[in-house]
Amino acid sequence: MAEIRVIDGRMPGMDSKDDMQYEPVAAQPAHLSLFDDQPAPVSDGAQLAEPVGGRKRRTRRVLIWSLVALLVVLGGGVGALYWTADHYASSVQRIPNAFPTLPDSAQPQPVAHSGMTFLLVGLDARSDVPTTGSDAKAPAWKEGAARSDTMMLMHIAADRKSVSVVSIARDTWVDIPGHGQAKINAAYSWGGPALMVETVQNLTNIRIDHVAVIDWNGFRSLTDTVGGVDITIPKTIEAVGGAQHWDAGTQHMDGATALSYVRERHGLPNGDLDRTKRQQNFLRALMKQTLSSGTLSSPTKLGGLLKSVGDVVSVDDKLSNSDLYDLAWSLRGVRVGDVSFMNAPFGGFATIDGQAAVKLDQQAATPLWEAMRNDRMNQYFAEHRTTSDMLGDSVR
């Protein structure tokens, strides 16, 4: 006997008030599903096709249960990911009172939709680094405890497709509010992050959005976590005086060796200017190794990396855990080639009040600060690629 199927809710000869109608079709085997009800058999081997409304209800049921199953599976993964991210984000030390307590009218005015600018402060021996093996941390700054070894302005473009890093030499001679003229690294020693932020803002007329304090010593473990970095020495440097001997060529450096590389300034023709380029070169190599070593795709390696980052970096307390997630996620498409490095324009060496100082080329610096303030760094780098202030492929 032929199977019967419903057609438009009525049979020939039936009016629209009838509930359903059927049409002969070829018999088919019973449909099996975890979610659908089994169709009831019909006598003489015939089978009634399911009504249209019944099919729709069962289809919805399949979709709902499939969605529930998917959410259960994904929910476990997302929950674990959230817990891991929150755990390591919470391990990042927060810096209280990192910004000057000046009214907005006395500070550079922020420019809408112009990206985000961090002040990165690098220390050779941060005051919160334990010396006895304890994991306890003290504040990132103690008055007079240390001068900042490195200052970098890191600008993240509004479209999150590029990052620009500009180093300010630690011996740069500037006005420090409340203290007169001195080397810029003295600001951190005298007034911590807040005075450093105020000093840099006055120098550049750029509003600082966030502060991060970096422990160069901690980069030793971070470098080891990603398996070391490859850094090329273009020319052999002889061990003269306090300078370390470096052989020309590409060298695979572990954490201890890389730390010696970034700390070195003896034997370098331009002293701290060359040192800042080494620091930038190291950061570039570290980024490249992190992206190419499978660290981000290995839960074990990623966990070690996140823990090391928490040990190395402190950030201002305006950056919440969710802010850190959002920032990291927004930068997921950035690659090594999207990050540009340079020194602030060099204006010459000088001896001031008996101190060896670095002078900033204010005329050349003005368009740089304007480009950063207005989120036009890609244009600036395109126009100034040949200047010696840029980080090239060959670094002493």
Using one digit for the tens of pLDDT, what is the confidence trace for 144-202? 455 567 899 999 999 999 999 999 999 999 999 999 999 999 999 899 999 999 999 99
User: Does 80 reside within a domain?
Assistant: no
Mean of per-residue pLDDT scores for the chain: 78
Least confident of 173-182, 297-306, 328-337: 297-306
Region 348-373: mean pLDDT is 95
Region 26-37: mean pLDDT is 40
The parent domain of residue 286 ranges over: 91-383
pLDDT(47) > 80: no
User: Does 73 reside within a domain?
Assistant: no
Which pLDDT does position 57 carry in this prediction? 62
pLDDT(81) > 70: no
Which pLDDT does position 23 carry in this prediction? 46
User: Does 125 reside within a domain?
Assistant: yes
Which pLDDT does position 136 carry in this prediction? 33
Name the residue with tokens 């976590």: 225
Residue with more model confidence, 338 or 238 = 338
User: Does 83 reside within a domain?
Assistant: no
User: Does 44 reside within a domain?
Assistant: no
User: Does 114 reside within a domain?
Assistant: yes
Query: Across 66-75, 80-89, 209-218, which has the greatest mean pLDDT?
Result: 209-218
Region 259-274: mean pLDDT is 82
Q: How far is CA 203 from the centre of its chain?
A: 26
Which pLDDT does position 7 carry in this prediction? 44
Contact indicator for 211, 95 with CB cutoff of 8 Å: yes
Residue with more model confidence, 74 or 311 = 311
- Helix ranges (H only) for the chain are 52-90, 186-204, 219-225, 255-263, 272-292, 299-312, 321-330, 362-373, 377-383
Phi first, then psi: give them for residue 325, nearest 5 degrees.
-60, -50
Rounded Cα–Cα distance for residues 145 and 53 (Å): 77
- pLDDT band (50, 70, 90) for residue 322: confident
- Residue 245, judged by CB atoms within 10 A of its CB (0-12, 13-18, 19+), counts as exposed
Which pLDDT does position 203 carry in this prediction? 98
Which pLDDT does position 59 carry in this prediction? 61
Residue with more model confidence, 55 or 384 = 384
User: Does 69 reside within a domain?
Assistant: no
Residue with more model confidence, 165 or 139 = 165
Among 378, 163, 392, which residue's Cα sits nearest to residue 287?
163
Phi first, then psi: give them for residue 116, nearest 5 degrees.
-135, 135
Contact indicator for 316, 94 with CB cutoff of 8 Å: yes
Between strands 210-215 and 313-316, the pairing is: antiparallel
Region 98-111: mean pLDDT is 95
User: Does 388 reside within a domain?
Assistant: no
- pLDDT band (50, 70, 90) for residue 232: very high
pLDDT(307) > 80: no
Which pLDDT does position 92 carry in this prediction? 86
- Amino acid (one-letter) located at 372: M
Task: Count how many domains the chain has.
Answer: 1
Q: What is the CATH number of the domain that holds 363?
A: 3.40.630.190
1-31 pLDDT, tens digit each? 444 444 444 444 444 444 444 444 444 444 3
Which pLDDT does position 12 carry in this prediction? 46
